[in-house]
Structure 1
Amino acid sequence: MAVQAVVFDIGNVLIEWNPERFYDGRLGAARRQEMFQAVDLHGMNELVDAGGPFRETIYGWAERYPAWREEIRWWFDHWIEMASPRIEGSIHLLRALRAKGVPVFALTNFGTDSFAYAQTQYDFLGEFDRAYVSGRMKLTKPDPAIYAAVEADCGVPPEALLFADDRADNIAAAAARGWQTHLFRDWQGWAGRLVAEGLLSRDEAGL
């Protein structure tokens, strides 16, 4: 079935998301590894993605680990430094698709408050035709229910959705529902897929 709407993940598709890199720069790799072994920071972030309050969740987590209290709080205090830089090639593709009249959605594991903050820092986050944010939905990828909720809301048949995500488990869950999928590695590969689908020309895709 021809693609009727394109769905973008955000982290590591439109914005780089690499907390380890941020902490390496602050603490050094060895100290960062010690911290990440002692504290399940990604588990903490999953609570935010699932709808937990941004600051309260992180600051509450910090109180559970007094030895790392300050460093855990950085996850909130310096969050935008972890959620950067922009992936300009992907942003160009988002805008090129919309200029062609192709509906563009976001489907992202992202906290409600952190997404609202990110929108003040990244203009393109306000440019989606529909934005499906896990914190708002109280569902996270790769739970099949989040994909079902997108289908029910947008009205596009699963087979007509083309979804790009950097995580294989998220892609597999979408594919299991019949979505067309692209495992994102770099914007050029994603651009090539959009060209192959006939959605953009090579010039429009920046290739």
Structure 2
Amino acid sequence: MPPEVMVFDIGRVLIGWDPEGFYDRVIGVPARARLFAEVDLHGMNLAIDRGEGFGSVVAACAAAHPAWAGEIMLWHDRWSEMVTGPIEGSVRLLRALKARGVPVLALTNFGRETLQIAQARFDFLNEFDAMVVSGHLGAVKPEPAIYAALESVAHVPPDRLFLADDVAANCAAAAARGWHTHLFQSPEGLAAALLAHGLLTEETLP
């Protein structure tokens, strides 16, 4: 069946997320490469996305790696600088879908505190009809529980859902449940997919 409900990932689909670029600017590329090789910062962030306390997780990681403690604490103290801004074309598509009356939901791996920071900065992150957030649920994509939670709030069969996500494994997990999916690489590619699936028309494209 054709999809009738749009589901957006947030990071790297609606807002830019580039911690490596942030550290490159602040401590330099060689030091950043050593830091990321020696400290599992993305694993640390996954714990935050699962709902653990933002400050406590970063502080514990810094304490476990004293040689990098100052650099690790930047993840907490300057987190908003790792968000590079809105992906404007995607935001226009979100609003075009809403203007056409398409229900627009979010399915995102995001910490509780960090999402509050992002929502205060970007008003469009408050415009979803419903949100399923890993930090609230305690499950992250591509785990089945987070997709089941989205299905429970969407109130449509899985084959009526259309997910745009930048991670192939997340799309694959959704597709295995019967969802329509699009591996996000650019707003232009997403616009073409929305046209192909009938969620937007040439007249309603932004």
Q: C-alpha offsets along residues 18-65 of structure 1, whole Å, 9 cap, x if unaligned?
A: 111111111111110000011000000000000001111111211111
Q: Deviations over 1:101-135 (max 9, x none)?
A: 00000000000111011111110010000011100
CA–CA separation in structure 2 for the residues paired with 1:88 and 1:203: 19
**Counterpart-to-counterpart distance in 2, 1:199 and 1:149:** 23
- Counterparts of 1:136-175 in structure 2, within 5 Å, are 136-175=136-175
**Alignment gaps of 5+ in structure 2:** none
Q: CA deviation at 1:205?
A: 2.3
TM-score, normalized by length of structure 2? 0.97
Partner of 2:20: 20
Query: Match of 1:204, as an amino acid?
Result: T
CA contact (8 A) 2:100 2:204 kept: no
Deviation at 1:201, TM superposition (A): 2.3
Q: Distance in 2 between matches of 1:199 and 1:29?
A: 42
1:1-207 matches, within 5 Å, as 1-206=1-206
Separation of aligned partners in 1, 2:158 and 2:78: 37
Whole-angstrom distance in 1 between the partners of 2:183 and 2:69: 36
Runs of 4+ residues over 3 Å off in structure 1 = none
Letter in 2 for 1:113: E
Give the C-alpha shift of residue 85 in structure 1.
Answer: 1.6
Q: Which moved more, 1:183-192 or 1:79-88?
A: 79-88
Pairwise CA RMSD: 1.0
Q: How many residues were matched structurally?
A: 206
